[in-house]
Each structure stands twice: as C-alpha cells, then as structure tokens.
Amino acid sequence: MSDYLRPITKENPYKLCFVCLGNICRSPTAEGIFIHKVKEAGLELYFYIDSSGTGAYHIGERANSKSQSTANAHGVHLPSIARRFEYQDLEEFDLILAMDSSNYRNILHMDKAEKYSSKVKLMREFDPEPGDKEVPDPYYGGLQGFENVFQVLDRSCTNLLNILKEHIK
C-alpha cells in the first residue's frame, strides 16, 4: 500500500486537498469534479474534499468565471472559496494534490522536516494520459484551455477515486 493510502471509513474520512497557485482555476475545478464524482458514487461520508493555493492572490474569491462556466457545462458545481495552503494542511490532509511541479515544490518547501512528503503528489500522477504531468494554467488563455483542464482533471479524478474506493471499509 502506498504511503498516502489507508483504510477509509465514515468515522475516519479520507481528506484530500487540491492545490494550484491562486486557487481560482485548477484546484477548485479538481475539487468540484471530485465532489461531483463522490456524490454520484454515494460516498460523501467517506471523504473530506478541499482546495487551496500556494499564493495569496485571490483569498476569499470564488472560482474564476471561465472555470465555473466550463464546469457548469459538465454539470459540475464549484463551491470553493480561495484560500492559501498553510503548514497545518500538511498535517491535516491524507493526500495533497499539486497541479504542477512549481506548486509541488512550494508545498514540499513548507515541509522542512520532510515528515509529509509521501502524501504530496502531482495531480497528473493519477491521469491515464499524464503527458508532462503538469495541469496547465488556463488563467490567461481562452475557453478551450479551461475545457482542456477540465478534461485532464476529470480523467485524473476518475482514476484517483477508483484507487481510493478500494480502501473503503
């Protein structure tokens, strides 16, 4: 069993945090998709799902309007309010999913004692088509960039949930 995997029960839900830079595009989209998939599977009591950003640029803001419209077109709601990733998140969450290598490094940099590195992963480690393992930042792009990010995250979340479901007791 990998370090980030453990038995998942209603009494001890599995805690995931999706992380990008500003917490308004990629990570809230991943959070919304994962919540949607968990609800569809009837597993809400087994998971605690959140998102955050390594930067403090958009604290308190809702997801970017293009992220929201793309997700809504797929029947997915993005409930996230942007917040900054903090050290205590390393302790709190079972799995921390960075959207790209820059955010991955920023998260690991917070873990000076290297106690939590085994639970920090790149999101696209769970993508059956991982490419360069980076979820591209669609912030400055057009709607197609947001659709591409949605598709990458949808595949990754599906695979991730399938892996985690095997550990529900």
CATH number for 65: 3.40.50.2300
0.95 exceeded by the pTM?
Answer: yes
Q: Which domain holds residue 145?
A: 14-164
Q: pLDDT tens per residue, the chain (169 residues)?
A: 477 899 999 999 999 999 999 999 999 999 999 999 999 999 999 999 999 999 989 999 999 999 999 999 999 999 999 999 999 999 999 999 999 999 999 999 999 999 999 999 999 999 999 999 999 999 887 889 999 999 999 999 999 999 999 999 9
Task: Report DSSP state, residue 125.
Answer: G
CA distance 65 to 77: 12
**Active site members:** 20, 26, 137
- Domain contains 99: yes
Tell me the β-bridge partners of 47. 14
- Domain contains 19: yes
Tell me the β-bridge partners of 96. 17, 120
Number of domains within the chain: 1
Q: Which residue has the tokens 């696209």?
A: 124
As a residue count, the chain comes to: 169
- Domain contains 2: no
